Amino acid sequence: MTAGPTPTWHGLFLMRVGLGLFLANKGAWLFGGKLQGVVSRPEALFHSPLVETLHLPFPPPVLGLWGPFVELLGWMIALGIGWRVAAVLASVAIVYIGSCLSGFGYFNHGSIIIPQMLWVLVVSPGADACSVDRLARGLWRRRHDSIDSARLVGDWLGPATPSWGLRLAGGLLVLIYAGGGISKLRYAPVDWLSGSTLRAYLTGMEQQYWLGPSSYVSSLVMDPPIWAFSYVSLPTALGHWIAAYPTLCALIAVATVIVALFPWMELFRALRGSPGGGRT
């Protein structure tokens, strides 16, 4: 007889705490400060399929509150205070703000993983372990059902849970990194594998810039309008040293693509079965 996966306790809640603290610490700048930097650009150049399809306003209303709002939601997620509702709101807000930021040609594929992981946490068992929500429920049960302290602590730590939530998070990471590796090989294989793109990141991209048209009038008559949005990478002494060796840059670039593509094999292996399963 084949038994199902054995439930185990795992630290999926650590991802909840980590993502929450990241939003609490960086959310105001990533999703508020950067938004302030794009709203002054010519609206005629703005193009975001999601914003336009859903008829969402650009710039977003109450502009100065988006950063503090995401920061507050981050604290709620990290501490576990109404965190599932906060995670849904944060994911929607980040997608909206990210769509506004990408409306001028730059898509930050690093931060877009955050709302996807938040949805994984929302549906995954065990993500609410060590949360204020769980503690409040335990205290309420202790008052009404007279449970002892050991049971209260055990309930707060969370029960044994199946590992599919952790696998869902891992599979999503694999798909995102593999997508980045495939994109590098599809659109700029020579530039990437030769290390020239990496050298540009390490030395030439000293500041964020936006090259707009010479006047607002020209943006309305030119097809396509002239505009660009640069990747941001502050140069360091180590970066300049690495960039001075083209062969080293090429090796690092090739290794980057390999690492991005390699997890596909782990995903296929994981989908064949779950650890903790067994036969009886």
Residue 233 confidence (pLDDT): 59
Q: What are phi and psi of 249, to 5 degrees?
A: -60, -40
Q: Which two tokens stand for residue 119?
A: 């949805």
Cβ neighbours around 243 below 10 Å, total: 19
171-204 residue pLDDT tens: 888 888 887 788 888 877 888 888 888 888 787 6
- Other CB atoms within 10 Å distance of the CB of residue 75: 17
Count CA atoms within 13 Å of residue 232 on its CB side: 10
Chain segment 215-224, per-residue pLDDT in tens? 444 544 544 4
Cα–Cα distance measured from residue 93 to residue 27, given in angstroms and rounded to the nearest whole number: 11
Interatomic CA distance for residues 28 and 65, integer angstroms: 9
For every residue of 107-118, DSSP letters joined together read: --TTTTHHHHHH
Q: What percent of the chain has pLDDT over 70?
A: 73
